[in-house]
Amino acid sequence: MSGTNRPRRGWGARLVILIPALWLAVFFAVPFLIVLKISLSQSAIAQPPYTPVLDLAAGWQGLKDWAAGLSLESYALLASDSLYVSSYLRSLQIAALSTAILLLIGYPIAYGIARAPRRMQAVLVMAIVLPFLTAFLIRIYALVTILQREGLLNDALLALSLVREPLVWLSTDTAIVIGIVYSYLPFMVLPLYASLEKMDDTLLEAAADLGCPWWKAFWLVTVPLSAPGIVAGALLCFIPIVGEFVIPDLLGGSDALMIGQTLWTEFFSNKDWPAASALAVALLAILLVPIMIYQHIQMRALEHR
Partner 1 sequence: MNGSSDKTRPLLRFEGVVKRFGDVPAVDRVSLDIHEGEFFALLGPSGCGKTTLLRMLAGFEQLTEGHILLDGQDIGDVPPHRRPVNMMFQSYALFPHLTVAGNVAFGLKQEALPKSEIESRVSAMLALVRLEGYGGRKPQQLSGGQRQRVALARALVKRPRVLLLDEPLSALDRKLREETRFELVELQQRLGLTFIIVTHDQHEAMIMADRIGVMNRGQLVQVGPPSEVYEQPNSRWVAGFIGDINLIEGRVAATGPQGTEIKSETAGRLHAAQPADVSLGTSVWLAVRPEKVSIAAHAPEGSQTNVFAGKVADIGYLGNSSLYKVKLDNGLVMTAVVANRTRLLERPIGRYDRVWLSFPSDAGVVLTR
Asked if 235 and 290 count as a contact pair (C-beta separation under 8 A), the reply is yes
For position 16 contacting partner 1 by CB under 8 A, the verdict is: no
What distance in Å separates the CA atoms of residue 121 and residue 129, rounded to the nearest whole number?
13
For position 21 contacting partner 1 by CB under 8 A, the verdict is: no
Per CB under 8 A, the list member of 14, 64, 149, 216 interacting with partner 1 is 216
Per CB under 8 A, the list member of 12, 59, 117, 211 interacting with partner 1 is 211
List Cα–Cα distances, 202 to 171, 206, 209, 221, in angstroms: 49, 6, 10, 11
For position 117 contacting partner 1 by CB under 8 A, the verdict is: no
CB of 213 to partner 1, least distance (A): 5
Nearer to partner 1, 127 or 301 (CB): 301
CA dihedral in degrees (74, 76, 80, 85; nearest 10)?
Answer: 70
Nearer to partner 1, 118 or 305 (CB): 305
Q: Which of residues 142-201 bind partner 1 (CB under 8 A)?
A: 200
Per CB under 8 A, the list member of 53, 140, 168, 225 interacting with partner 1 is 225
Per CB under 8 A, the list member of 35, 208, 246, 286 interacting with partner 1 is 208
Identify which of 244, 227, 285, 249 has the alpha carbon closest to the alpha carbon of residue 75: 285
For position 302 contacting partner 1 by CB under 8 A, the verdict is: no
Q: How many residues bind partner 1 (CB under 8 A)?
A: 20
Per CB under 8 A, the list member of 2, 61, 202, 269 interacting with partner 1 is 202
Give the single-character DSSP code of 46.
S
Identify which of 128, 127, 146, 129 has the alpha carbon closest to the alpha carbon of residue 138: 146
Identify which of 189, 182, 166 has the alpha carbon closest to the alpha carbon of residue 247: 182
Nearer to partner 1, 165 or 303 (CB): 303
Is the sign of the CA dihedral 274, 276, 280, 283 positive or negative?
Answer: positive
What distance in Å separates the CA atoms of residue 113 and residue 191, rounded to the nearest whole number?
12
Q: Which stretch binds partner 1 (CB under 8 A): 24-32, 78-86, 189-197, 204-212?
A: 204-212
Q: Which stretch binds partner 1 (CB under 8 A): 74-82, 134-142, 205-213, 283-291?
A: 205-213
Identify which of 274, 276, 288, 273 has the alpha carbon closest to the alpha carbon of residue 245: 276
Residues that bind partner 1 (CB under 8 A): 200, 202-203, 205-213, 216, 220-221, 224-225, 227, 304-305
